Amino acid sequence: MKEYLKKYIKVIDDKLDKYLAIEDNPQRIIYEAMRYSVFAGGKRLRPVLMLLTCEMCGGDTDEVLPFACALEMIHTYSLIHDDLPAMDNDDLRRGKPTSHKQFGEATAILAGDALLNKAFEVVSAYSGNNPDRAMKAVNILAVSSGSEGMIGGQIVDMQSEGREITLDELRYLHLNKTGAIIRSACVIGAVMSGADSGAIKAVDEFSRNLGIAFQIQDDILDVTGTESELGKPIGSDAEEGKNTYVSLLGLQKSEELSEEYSKKAKQALNIFGEKANTLKELTDYLTDRRS
């Protein structure tokens, strides 16, 4: 699977490289800061999910690629802002100094802002034959990363630090914080392919369950991983008083739950028959990962 994904990752990275070309003008430092975080070794999970969903739905990956890159920019901006001293105050991300450690806090804030902006710049440069469809996709993107999506989840996460929350609250938090843009990755892939409402619904169901399975696995890895595998200190969730699936349910129950959501995710794709094989394999790969 890792080998198979490489060709998709290359397509995404080449396009990101073009979108984020350094402009030789007085503000070039902002491009350097944007690139530093975007090319810091991310797995490109969200854009890959979008491209694979597009292929499953018979769409044109060229039309979808700007949206895939935009989603990676949005993911990256959220990490830059999350790492800030006023937020999680993290010094390392994927084994490298975080943006504010490298460029200073003010530039890190602006680099995050600029990536969020650039995401919408890139998708609104659409000039294809389906502006209605593209506008809908831009809207899905914006909603999923906003106050009823990712940012909503971040706020709830912040407010729940240091106090114990229920499993329902944890699920709500992650459905938004990490789940919303995993969902929009898949749903945009389907919408831009012209998929019908039944197919879009199935993709939504798949991605909703995948998002939770993915997050549980993240929580498990914070306990069972190694620093070299993850590129950050182990046990940081517990140290920061974060609520995780592992802190609420323990390791074994978390692993069972991850398996359960992963299974539900794959089932949702059955209507696509064999075309869903790659996404199903990716689901297994993600819930078995070590980093």
d(C-alpha 73, C-alpha 182), whole Å: 13
d(C-alpha 235, C-alpha 249), whole Å: 16
Contact call for residue 241 and a second copy (CB under 8 A): no
236 burial level (CB within 10 Å; 0-12, 13-18, 19+): middle
Q: CB 121 → a second copy: shortest distance, Å?
A: 4
Contact call for residue 23 and a second copy (CB under 8 A): yes
User: How many CB atoms sit inside 10 A of residue 235's CB?
Assistant: 11
- Of the candidates 2, 21, 125, 198, which one interacts with a second copy according to CB under 8 A? 125
Contact call for residue 120 and a second copy (CB under 8 A): yes
- Of the candidates 143, 223, 234, 248, which one interacts with a second copy according to CB under 8 A? 143
Reported as type and span, the H/E element at residue 97 is strand 96-97
How many CA atoms are closer than 13 Å to the CA of 67, on its beta-carbon side?
35
Q: CB 256 → a second copy: shortest distance, Å?
A: 27
188 burial level (CB within 10 Å; 0-12, 13-18, 19+): buried
* CB 211 within 8 Å of CB 178: yes
- Of the candidates 9, 92, 109, 257, which one interacts with a second copy according to CB under 8 A? 109
How long, in residues, is the chain?
Answer: 291
Contact call for residue 32 and a second copy (CB under 8 A): no
Contact call for residue 131 and a second copy (CB under 8 A): yes
Nearest to a second copy of 50, 134 (CB atom): 134
Contact call for residue 202 and a second copy (CB under 8 A): no
Q: CB 139 → a second copy: shortest distance, Å?
A: 4
d(C-alpha 98, C-alpha 69), whole Å: 21
Contact call for residue 81 and a second copy (CB under 8 A): yes
Chain residues binding a second copy by CB under 8 A are 23, 25-27, 29-31, 34, 77, 81, 84, 86-87, 104-107, 109-110, 112-114, 116-118, 120-121, 124-126, 131-132, 134-136, 138-139, 141-143, 145-148, 151-156, 158-159, 169, 172-173, 176
